[in-house]
Copies of this chain bind each other. A is one copy, B any other.
Amino acid sequence: MDVKQREITAEELSKDFKEISIAEFFEKNRHLLGYENPTKSLITIVKELVDNSLDACEEANILPNINVKVQQITEEKFKILVEDNGPGIVPEKVPLAFGKLLYGTKFHKLKQTRGTQGLGAHGAILYSQLTTGKPAKITTTTEKEIHKFELMIDVMKNEPNIISHEKEKNIEKWHGLKLEVECVGRYIEGKQSIPEYLKQTAILHPYAKIVYNGPNGKSTFERVTEQMPQKPKEIKPHPYGMQLGILRRFATTTKAKNMIGFLTKEFSRLGKRSAQEMCKLAKIPYKTKPKDLQHDEIERLHKAMQMVKLMSPPTNVLSPLGENLITEGLEKEVEAEHFVAISRPPTVYSGFPFVVEIGLAYGGKLPLDQSAQLMRFANKVPLIYHSKDCVTSEACIETDWRRYGFSQSSGQLPLGPLIILVHFASVWVPYTSEGKQAISAYPEIMKEVKLALQEAGRQLSIYIRRKQKSRESQLRKELFENYIAELAEDLSKLSNEDKEKIAKGLREIIKKGESSVTRKDTETSDEKS
């Protein structure tokens, strides 16, 4: 007899097919959203909610006031509350905006924002109800009313489940959003922690006031300026590097009735003449309806798009911080003695515009005997994990900091009292993975970060050399002063001049030398000494 098991048919197997809800998918794969362990989960919740609050305030042109509360309930359970003074969310939209994954405002826009997928708050609520079974509490406002919701996500259906909804009068005309969740977590301070994330956020948002109430007390990051950076704008995709499948979809969804309208309306930097040139190259009549394009026509159009010379994407759509805000941010949170800020002109990678900005903080109370601290930001959000994989770290390590007065071992950050802040702003940040913690090393990005670091390094080195020189001359002066009395006596004996008069003259010589060092701001002044 054959002991082999009998073959099973496709019909028998087919009964196992089942639809999976996207909420179920992310509940099971919660590490994709940053919820792989209790410590990181707690940070992720604060980060996602604060990022949302900042996006909302800026979108509405409101100077952000943000309150963050993290309260330990039991050994492993925490209550987290984030409250902002933004525009809030209209009550009718609350159920879907928080109770249905992949429902949001940011996914379809090519625009510099902190969040991108519309998954941030959903992930927090999903993780919260998974670990504690409790609903999220959401408070939002209209002009006349305050609305309070208790909400859970029906995971199997990916639909909101409203537990309660109460209204009260908005007497004080408060506006904003308040979100509270409970979850299993672990609280730490130091590197890769909530306080560190908030501190770095405060540095890049000197126009925000952030109050933090943590398990170990309260701290306030004050607003030091009312100047907000220019608001980012939404752009159309640039034809270079466009995928064929996306082009095909654009052709079927456009409202344009002919090729020239389609090309000039749906793409960035594509004028009438370029559109005509593309159509000619692709052998497509101008009057063809985009919906009627055949596969081979789309293939030809796709090729032609890469061949016609076009301007780079517009770069004025970005919202860099600018050198002033970077300096103000660093000055308020870092006890250093000298600050440098560089904001590079915008440039382009794979069709996406981007800007690199650098801040350096030097000396003061920063530790002398440790490696420099690198603070990384993408669209103003601090990147806490996966530092080694990040283009910013690579560029820092490959920069020769010995030129700027630091010691540095190969493959390491420079040694000394230094904070290096790198900010990457773009309509599309090429994260190395879903965790959004490190930026890919595209050659164009690497080059820009390095150029920016070099520019900042050179500026800092001027300060460092001047300081060194003034310290050296101070030492020489002190040394000389110690000998003035003795020297004056010797000279007085030789010249029969009055001892005191000679000493006074010598002191004046020192004074002159000193001021000439202070006045002269050059780096190479060896001839003076």
Contacts and interface: CB of A to CB of B under 8 A. Distances in A.
Nearest to A432: B31
B129 A245 contact: yes
Nearest to A6: B61
A87 B9 contact: yes
Contacts of A18: 103-105, 107-108
Contacts of A19: 100, 102-103
A20 B87 contact: no
Nearest to A31: B433
B244 A105 contact: no
Interface in A322-344: none
How big is the A interface, by class? 35 or more
Contacts of A27: 245
Contact of A102 (B22, B60, B243, B435): B22
B299 A105 contact: no
A132 interface: yes
A367 B97 CA distance: 59
A258 interface: no
Given A32-B32, A59-B8, A433-B31, A102 B20 contact: yes
Contacts of A92: 14
Interface string A1-32: 00011111111011011111110110111011
A62 interface: yes
Copies of the protein in its oligomer: 2
Among A31, A90, A96, A133, the most chain B Cβ lie within 10 Å of the Cβ of: A133
A248 B133 contact: yes
A21 B101 CA distance: 10
A96 B141 CA distance: 42
A295 interface: yes
B108 A298 contact: no
A130 B244 contact: yes
Nearest to A295: B133
B131 A244 contact: yes
Given A8-B60, A8-B87, A32-B32, A243 B130 contact: yes
Contacts of A249: 155-156
Contacts of A65: none
A231 interface: yes
A44 to B, nearest CB: 15
Contacts of A14: 89-90, 92-93
Contacts of A370: none
A243 B245 CA distance: 41
18 contacts: A7-B61, A7-B87, A10-B88, A11-B90, A13-B59, A13-B89, A14-B89, A17-B104, A20-B104, A20-B108, A20-B117, A21-B102, A25-B102, A131-B243, A131-B245, A133-B248, A133-B299, A155-B245
Interface of A: 4-11, 13-14, 16-22, 24-25, 27-29, 31-32, 56, 59-62, 87-90, 92-93, 96-97, 100, 102-105, 107-109, 117-118, 129-134, 140-142, 155-156, 175, 231, 243-249, 253, 295, 298-299, 302, 433-435
